[in-house]
A and B are shown apart, each in its own frame.
Chain A
Amino acid sequence: MSAERRIAVVPAYNEERNIARVVGELRDFDPALDVVVVSDGSLDGTVAAAEAAGARVLQLPFNLGIGGAVQTGFKYAWEHGYDLVVRCDGDGQHIPAELPKVIAPVEAGEADIAVGSRFTGDESYRSSASRRVGIRLLAWIVSAIAHQRVTDTTSGFQAMNRRALRLFAIDYPHDYPEVEGMVMTIKHQLTLTEVPVKMREREHGSSSITTLRSIYYMAKVLTALFVGLFRRNIVPAEET
């Protein structure tokens, strides 16, 4: 299995203070793991910091939002023939040392995509009450649509094989893609599994989620989920 090529896709927007550590930790975790950082129109030193840390950098000319940025990395991985892709946020929230847990089910062929969940483990995750309600609501809806229990629908800490990568390289939700991405995976007959992982609180800078944004986020995601129920799949299964 050593011929298998792996890549980490790391979206980053103005993360000059976090990105070097993230890239460094990823490379320490597995020197054979390629790292591609997608700078989503960053205006600070993110690109230089990522390059100095040894990552390949895709530089978007303006901010596309997390979905567009991550998909750029997925397209890169798809076109360069990688067999396994992990997605890991550039803000340092995701801990590369936790990667084996996320990679294991995909590598064993048990799932096409594995998502690291903050909530299935013993480690409690601090967040505000309204955010917890939103997270629960989304988990409940997605679980109902997917006919399987999911707990963390907003986690960007994921590993996937080429089958799932193909889907996302062609079609990936915009703005905040994780929730819809989960439903898409299920609707395209791909298998998804959740694994408990630990996550860190942000060290530098602030999360991009404000109150107004979270209202927009919920409205948009709920609309997308509802309309998605009436939508046929547009990405046909790969002929092999």
Chain B
Amino acid sequence: MILAEGTPLKVSLAATAASLVLVLVVFELIRSRRLRERYALLWLLTGIVLVVLSAWRGGLNTIAGWLGVRGYPPAVLFAVGLMFVILVLLHYSTVISRLSDQNTILAQRLALLEAKLNESREGRS
């Protein structure tokens, strides 16, 4: 029954390869310092979970059974992938919010410092 309605082998191979590429790309980005560990962890987790779910065919079919996905177990891969993408985007939204707050603070500090500098210069001359 599992084999009849299970994951096609080609789908498993392609999905495993694609997730492995994701993990390797993330790894290389960290190594070359273009991606900080702090922002890479969620990506690594995404890649690793997808590798496991793609390569472990029995597991994918079982989880599909739990979730009531009948007929096409790889749909679970889409769902899990989509869930992680949403998580990463949400995480990035918080990161961008923090960055823009900090940017405001920096600009304000700079303006205040400039004013202070000019005041002390005028005072001296």
Contact = CB atoms under 8 A, between A and B. Distances in A.
B30 A223 contact: yes
A169 to B, nearest CB: 17
Contact of B30 (A62, A174, A227): A227
Q: Is the interface of B mostly helix, strand, loop or mixed?
A: helix
Interface string A16-47: 00000000000000000000000000000000
B82 interface: no
B106 A231 contact: no
Contact size class for B? 10 to 19
Nearest to B109: A61
Contacts of A216: 41
A224 B101 CA distance: 27
Contacts of A224: 37
A219 B41 contact: yes
Interface residues of A, number: 13
Interface string A223-239: 11001001100100000
A86 B36 CA distance: 27
A96 B55 CA distance: 55
A220 B40 CA distance: 9
Ranked nearest first, the 3 interchain pairs of A and B with the lowest CB-CB distance are A227-B30, A224-B37, A61-B109
Given A62-B101, A62-B105, A230-B31, 4 more contacts: A61-B105, A219-B41, A223-B30, A223-B40
